Amino acid sequence: HAIDQGVRVINLSLTYFQTPTSPEVTGLLQKIKDNNVMVVWSAGNEYGIEKPFPSNVDNILSISSVDPMLRLSDFSNQGLSTDFAAPSDIQIHSLREEKFSGTSGAAPVVSGVILNMLKVNPALSPIQIKNILKATALDLGPDGFDPQTGWGMPNMAKALLAARYVKEGRLFVSQRSIEDPTELNRLGRRVFIEISKDKRVLPISFEEAVAQSKNCEDYGKNIKKIFMNYFLTEDSTEICKFYTRHKIFLSAITFCPASQQEALKKQLALELWSSDSKRRQEAAYAVGIAQDVASLPKLTALLQDPDSDVRDLALRALGHFPHSPDAATALMRAFPTLSLGEKKAAINSLSKFETHPPAIQFLMSLVSEPLPEENNVLPRLIKEEAIKALGRLKHRESIPILIEQFASEYTLHPVTIEALAQMKEEAIPLLLETLRDIRKRPVEEPHKIEMGIGKTLGAIGAPAIEPILQAVRRKELDVFLVSNAIREIGMPALTPMLSVLEDSDPLVQWVAAKSLGDIGDDRAVEALIQKLHTRNISIQQAVRMSLERIEILTQNEQVRQRIHRALR
């Protein structure tokens, strides 16, 4: 609908398509491209999960979140699909004085940059916009692209000037996507050269800003000039002076040199005792972000603060000290007295203590605790949060405990599958071992565990295929369970299954034949038709069933007729 109305920039602060290869999604992506629309998507807040989609789509940008120290926010997703990062940690305020955070807040920051670029130069194409953003962004990680922050944080000042220079004919930006870091650096240097020649861009120092200000309005305008100059030169000296003067200590720590930071941290710690609850909130958050170890005792004391927002931020802040046993102990001791929301914050913080065994054991105990028989939603929500935390920790000892959750209620399956899938290859041997032995164990509903493991192997994807086939060759697994797992893997299993359709092991052949039908891709048709004349009746039946399934699913009439003739 938005595309049909002529919208040029669409911000989507919501979940990605669940089925990115479906015809509906493919058609929509093509419409986005054909209409020169930019779609800016939030990466998601599942604490670092890698999202493969949308990647390599120039019209669609995926945005992660960074904190005030310009580090990836602990909740932000990441992955090869990440294009840029923008600030949207926990202390962002709306015009209505409501706090918000998450990648849902980061995405519109980038949308706003693009919208302003199009105001300056409506003729820019999506590819040119992305090239300008990449060439002028502040690189936050290793040189060039990285999965956490993409190409960096967009620099609106440089991007707007670059857009204007393109319009004025002073700058050429290619209509093809630039991926080479050297070429992007050249474009960035050309932008800087044009800026240095631009007489409308005049630098100003903080001292000059103060001296030239007769009133608040003048001061505001001059401070804007300082920030503009910072964004153009990335020299933070004057920004440091501004934040220090106004006692905005966390931002001062971000921009000031190391020689000043200890004094700033001491000033920040004093705010923890402020009588103003808002100042205590901001101080608790800032002490965590700044990782000021000296303030840990004061931060721990805030877990007893009468203000719930202060307690919540103190719980989150303790997660920024993952090597401190005292911080972990404080979180675990406070846990029984916390509210549901506070318990979630404590669990998220404990998931950072990957080298602290007591914290890991504590989370495992939360997952192992049986749910009460009465229909009480709170224990289940706490257990779900602890399962997610173990997934982020990727600790091998937690795998059996997570697998056991498949025997619990079905509502825990999705979060358990996601947690185990994050462990990838580490989880595969134990998953297959459980699948092999489950029928020998005194389990009331083994099919629930089998289904959960199958879906988990599917979520792990291609790395699970060869271990599964090896287990089939050793006759350790039921072939129906195996084919269900491969069905969950889906399209990444297509080529491996085609390659083992002529395997020396008949069981592997059967699994391949059955799985190719479950995948339902036209590219399997010719190989399956060649297999129709096998002497093994079971394999032949699996081949026929797969061809019949593809005949129903295919959108290609020629493929449908080819299958029809072969089967008749």
Q: Which fold has domain 490-568?
A: Leucine-rich Repeat Variant (1.25.10)
Report CA dihedral (103, 108, 111, 115) to the nearest 10 degrees.
-170
Distance CA 491, CA 522 (A): 11
268: how many CB neighbours lie within 10 A of its CB? 24
**pLDDT per residue as tens, the chain (568 positions):** 888 888 999 998 876 665 665 667 777 778 888 888 998 988 888 776 666 665 567 788 999 999 887 888 888 888 888 999 998 876 666 666 666 678 888 999 999 999 999 999 999 999 999 999 999 999 988 888 998 999 999 999 999 999 999 999 999 999 999 989 999 999 999 999 999 898 888 888 999 999 999 999 999 999 988 888 888 887 889 999 999 999 888 888 888 898 998 898 888 889 999 999 988 988 898 899 888 899 999 999 999 999 999 999 999 999 999 999 999 999 999 999 999 999 999 999 999 999 999 999 999 999 999 888 777 788 889 999 999 999 999 999 999 999 999 988 788 999 999 999 999 899 999 999 998 887 777 767 788 888 899 899 988 988 999 999 999 999 888 888 888 888 888 888 999 999 999 999 999 999 999 999 999 999 999 999 999 989 999 999 999 999 999 999 998 999 999 999 999 8
Distance CA 526, CA 548 (A): 13
Domain residue spans of the chain: 9-197, 206-246, 490-568
Distance of CA 136 to the CA centre of its chain: 23
Pairing state of beta strands 60-66 and 38-42?
parallel
Q: Is the dihedral of CA 393, 399, 405, 406 positive or negative?
A: positive
- CB-CB contact of 349 with 372 (8 Å): no
What are 78's strand-pairing partners?
A: 50
Angle subtended at Cα 402 by Cα 336 and Cα 373, rounded to the nearest 5 degrees: 55
Distance CA 411, CA 413 (A): 6
CATH class of 9-197: alpha beta
What are 10's strand-pairing partners?
A: 39
Beta carbons within 8 Å of 43's beta carbon, 6+ residues apart = 51, 62, 63, 64, 65, 76, 77, 78, 79, 81, 82, 103, 106
Exposure on the CB side of residue 472, measured as CA atoms within 13 A? 24
Beta carbons within 8 Å of 548's beta carbon, 6+ residues apart = 517, 563, 567
Q: DSSP label at 95?
A: T
